[in-house]
Structure 1
Amino acid sequence: MNTIEIQEALDRLAEFESQRDQIEVNKCVLLDEVKIPAEVEEIVRNGMKQMGEVEGSFAPTIQGIQNEAETKLALIVVPDEIKAALTEIDRQRAAIRTHQGDEEVKVALRIRAIKAEIQTNVEEKTKDVYAAIAQRKAEIEAEFAGKAEAVDENIKKLTEEIKAEIRVLKVSVKAKTYQAVYNKGRITWNTDKMEAWIIDHPFLKEARKEGDPSVTIRKV
């Protein structure tokens, strides 16, 4: 390649980059179009609302259980003259608390069962829609992955070709969007052989190492 051909290659590289960006834009547009239908969202909202209402509807029941327990406990008075009855009183209190706990567990289990039934109903009505949406999104991702891979391969191949030609020409080339910048090979020294002897011993130049030149592709 000569300089003009490299400029043309750099412009093609910019076109490939633009194609890749457009592929991503097109994919995002299609993904945005794959939305959950309004009626499905309404089903989910109603289900969540119903589950919230379940706990609220049982709140008076739970409060009644607690009030009943507190009322019964308040009726248990320990007379000073009946110290021997303390053991029985403790037993009664424990029995009331146990009964209270049992009743609250029953209510909690009932709430859980109703909410599970609502959740199952919502999932049954919406599972096919969510599955279809997930499938469509997977198809879009797969379709555009192939397109993006093809463009990426073109970008990689053309980039390597440009770098190889720049190494031969040993000059930087600038195009409309990109420029190929030629960098001379880095020179390094073996410091173990240098130190103070290099001035009096020119042969130490053998320790001089020059790396391969490199090419960097940059946007203009």
Structure 2
Amino acid sequence: MPNLDHRFARRLRILRRVVSKVTVVDLHQRTFVAGPALLERFTLGVLAAEGVRAIVENNHLSRELVGEELKRRGLSESVNALMADAQSLETVSDMSSEQKLEQLAAQIEGKGITNSTLGHIGRVIDSIEPETGYMINPTMMSSQEHLDDLYATNADDRAIDAYVAGVEITSESPSTNLLAVDTDNKAADAETLEQEADSTQHLTL
């Protein structure tokens, strides 16, 4: 997806350039870092916000994990845009063709870096990128994936122990069970309709 990769990489460079010149005003320290399995389920907009936040927080692990997810999706130029040094970033004037991105930059410059402005990055990118769900994992995370993410993000041992003690660890996604229930319901509905059709036919005869 060369066109998608180029568009997304350009937006990442622009956003990085903007936040590099703005003061952090109100950014709450999070108690977790999104791991590989969770990142697979992020839209490109949310990935952009996660990558920018990692840079703002100087969180090397989070930045690398976002880069690995972009690599999984085949967006090599975007990986370079996220991981490159600040000297390669594009200037704000390069936003003239995208009004919403320009407005976002103005908002960040005006309000500073906050949880709200970083969250708004994801919403804006998703609203202007038609392929924002490219190679997203549409399933719900399994408990095993949650556990793997805790290990991958160097979560506290107590948090890991509490999670293991509180849930059944399985590699099966809850989506599988939901799909099975939906399939059973559709089969039951079809059987009911068939029975009703038979009854109607007998009454007609």
Under a length normalisation based on structure 1, what TM-score does the superposition of the two structures give?
A: 0.21
Q: Which has the higher strand share?
A: 1
Under a length normalisation based on structure 2, what TM-score does the superposition of the two structures give?
A: 0.22
User: Larger radius of gyration, structure 1 or 2?
Assistant: 1
Q: Which has the higher helix share?
A: 1
